[in-house]
Each structure stands twice: as C-alpha cells, then as structure tokens.
Structure 1
C-alpha cells in the first residue's frame, strides 16, 4: 500500500481529529486496503460507499486521509446545533444536511460547490445504515448521482466490510477487543459519460444511481467473499423508518 502525503492544508480541526482518531483506529483495528491509488490525488471527486456502522465514517476517513485527501462529509444538521461541535465540524469542512425538509437542497448545492472547488466529498448513497438483514447494500438515493451529473466529476466506488464488528448498527457500545479487521476496496470510476449530456430526467438520474450501487455492491462482494442478493433491499417496499434505529417507533428519512 502506498501512503500519499497530504497536499492541502488540513487546518486546526483536522489536526485535532487526526491526533485523536488515527491512534484510536490503529489501536482498535487492522486494515486491508486495495485500490487506494484510485482515489484521485487532486481535483473534485465523489467517493461513494456502503454504510454499515456509525463508526465507518472514521474508518473511511482513514483510507482517504492516508491517500493524501481530506474527506468532506454530508452530516446531519442536528450535529451542528451544539455550538462547540458545530464550530468544529464547520472548521473541518463538513456539510450540514437538514433531513426531511426542503432545505436538504442546500446540502446538494454545498456538495456541488465543494466538488467544483476541488474537494473530495464522501457520500453514502443508501442515505442511512443498511437495513438489509445481512448488511448488503440497499437501493440507493439520488444525491450522489445528481452531484456527479451536475459536475461531471469522477465517482469513485468503495466497498467496505468490518466496521460493523467494531460497532454494530445502532449499538451503544463498541467492541474494542480484539482489534477488528477493516477491509476496503476502491474501484475504478463509475462510467457515467453517456449520461452527462442527457436531459436530467428521473430516468437518467435513476440509471446513474443504479450504476453507482452496482459498482459498490460488486466491491462489497469482493471484500466479503460472498454474493449479494439478486434484488437489493428497498426500505420503501418494506415500510421501514427512513432514519435512525429501525427498532424505535419514529418517523423520518434521509434526503435523496
């Protein structure tokens, strides 16, 4: 594995985060990374990956940071309501998402602007931790596809497995011992070239979304050494809650 030197200034927030999070990850996880060189060294791009644990943004940041980029995430707006945490997240360049409101479009605009400014934006197209009983990728939402079609930037798929061993979905306490193996495989950019000049119809956006989810699922099959179900889990068909712990009786959804 080739570790790249960070080319951009990381700022005070990332300096603090790296000093705390990276040693913690090295103490609690081992990693097998494949294809990390496919993460662009510079320029705007989107990294899209499956979502299996609340801790996987940290394990994802590990591979992105060690390949010379600072990841920018779409983070739920509730995290920004705490004054200190909000200041920290903004200083780290994270993008607030107001879920379940029309203001969610502001996150899309901010993500497009970040990509155009040369940033590496990490998106979980499923919109929430997968509800598939065996943690396979679900159907995707349209946000990543719409950002990609608007900017024409590279869309880099990543399949990951292992973070759920460190912190199971919606669990309150991590399982720190023994160290957990985190596997990640970075794929070739998703080919959306033929769709970039097409009218931005729902059908075209869905085609792009399906290609993104197909690429992610194939990579997850590789890192898991198994075969995904022939039909991806669809929360709408199963009547699932669309945010938060599915076992709690609340209503909500992540933005497309």
Structure 2
C-alpha cells in the first residue's frame, strides 16, 4: 500500500477532522488500499466510487487523503441547514447539491470551478446508495460525465467493498464487532478523449456516463471476484423514485 504525502494545506476543517476521524475508522475496520497512486498527485480530477453504505464518504475521504489529496464532495443541501455544520462543510470545500431543483445547475458550476482550480472532486455516480439486491452498482447519473467533458479532467474509478459490513445500507446501527475489512482499489483513468471534441449532446453525455460506469463496475468485479449482472439495476423501473427511502414507492 502506497501512502502519498498531502501536497496542499489542510485548512482548519481538515486539521480538526483528520485526527478524530482516521483513528476512529482504523479502530472499526482494517483497510487495504490498492493502486491509490493512480489518483493524480496534483491538478483537477474526478474520483468516482460505488456507493454501498452511509459510511462511504468517510472511508472514501480516508482513501483519497491517504493518497495525497483533499476530497471535495457534492453533498446533499440538507446537510448545510445547520449553521455550524454548514460552516465546517464549506470550510472543507464541500459543495451543496439541491437535487431535482434549478440550484443543481449551480452545484455543477461549482464542481467545474473546483476541478479547474485543481481540486479533487469525489462523485458517487449512482446518485444514492445502491438498491441492487446484491449491492452491485446501479445505472449511473450524468454528473461526473458532464463535469469531465466540460473540464477535460481525468476520471479515476475506485471500487470498494466491505463498508456494508460496518454499516449495512439503509440502516443506522453499525456492526462494530468483529472488526471488519475495507478494500478499495483505483482503476486506470477512463478514456474520454474522443468525446471531448463532440457537441455536449445527450448521446455524448450518455456515452461518457456508460464508460465511467463500465470502468467502475470492472474494478468492483475485480475486488469481489464475481461478475456483475449484465443489466444494471434501475430504481425508476423498480418504482423507487424517492431517493432517501427504498420503501417509498414512485407516486408519479
């Protein structure tokens, strides 16, 4: 496992969080980091992860931080309603997202600006925790693809496995004993070169999204030693339009 030194100042938010969060995570799970050096040491980039647990953001931050980058997230706008938490999140460079609203465009612009400023932006391209019965990545949303096409930045897929053993999806009670094992592996940058000069049409964005998801699924398959289903789970087809609760049915 290669650990890379941080190349930028942490700021007060990360300086406060890292000494608390890292030891806590190490106490509940061992970690195996694989090929994290594929995350660029400097310069704007997007790192995409599969999403299997509410604890994922802490673990993915651990992975990215251990490889010399400060992670910037597209975070749910609801987290910013608390003044103290909002101050902390904004100081840590996190980007509020108001889903299904006009302000989502502002989040896209903020993410593009962050990448252009040389930041490492973390995206969960599924948009929410997976609802696939076997925890495979679902169909992807277009956010990561659109940011990549707009900026020309590298997109690094990172597959992870084990977080669901610590905190199963859509639950609130962690399973701390016995100590679990978390594995994360970075893949090669997704090749979008031929798409960068095309018009930003739906076809181009869908093609980029498909490549990003295929690369991510391939890394997860490698970690799990299994083949993913030929057809990815689609929450809308399953009548699960509501993002926060898998039991709420689509009333549209």
TM-score range, shorter chain: over 0.9
Query: Partners in 1 of 2:162 and 2:251 — Cα distance?
Result: 29
Q: What is the CA-CA distance between 1:2 and the residue it aligns to?
A: 1.5
Does 2:184 align with 1:184? Answer: yes
Query: Partners in 2 of 1:67 and 1:45 — Cα distance?
Result: 13
Contact 1:130–1:137 under 8 Å retained in 2: yes
Q: What is the CA-CA distance between 1:241 and the residue it aligns to?
A: 2.6
Scaled by the length of structure 1, what TM-score is found? 0.96
Query: Partners in 2 of 1:231 and 1:170 — Cα distance?
Result: 23
Aligned partner of 1:166 in structure 2 is: 166
Aligned partner of 2:46 in structure 1 is: 46
Could you tell me which runs of 5 or more consecutive residues in structure 1 were left unpaired when the two chains were aligned. none
Superposition misfits of 4+ residues, deviation over 2 angstroms = 248-252
Does 2:219 align with 1:210? Answer: no
Q: What is the CA-CA distance between 1:99 and the residue it aligns to?
A: 1.2
Query: Partners in 2 of 1:242 and 1:187 — Cα distance?
Result: 31
Query: Partners in 2 of 1:211 and 1:250 — Cα distance?
Result: 28
Where 1:74 maps in the other structure, the secondary structure is: strand
Scaled by the length of structure 2, what TM-score is found? 0.98
Q: What is the CA-CA distance between 1:32 and the residue it aligns to?
A: 1.4
Where 1:235 maps in the other structure, the secondary structure is: coil
Aligned partner of 2:76 in structure 1 is: 76
Where 1:223 maps in the other structure, the secondary structure is: helix
1:85-100 to 2 correspondences below 5 Å: 85-100=85-100
Distance 1:28 1:251, change over 3 A: farther
Aligned partner of 1:67 in structure 2 is: 67
Contact 2:242–2:248 under 8 Å retained in 1: no
Q: What is the CA-CA distance between 1:178 and the residue it aligns to?
A: 1.4
* 1:118-148 Cα shifts (integer Å, max 9, x gaps): 0000000000001101000000000000000
Where 2:204 maps in the other structure, the secondary structure is: helix
Q: What is the CA-CA distance between 1:167 and the residue it aligns to?
A: 0.5
Could you tell me which runs of 5 or more consecutive residues in structure 2 were left unpaired when the two chains were aligned. none
* 1:199-254 Cα shifts (integer Å, max 9, x gaps): 110001000000000000000001111110010011121121341121246879xx
Aligned partner of 1:141 in structure 2 is: 141
Query: Partners in 1 of 2:45 and 2:251 — Cα distance?
Result: 33
Aligned partner of 1:152 in structure 2 is: 152
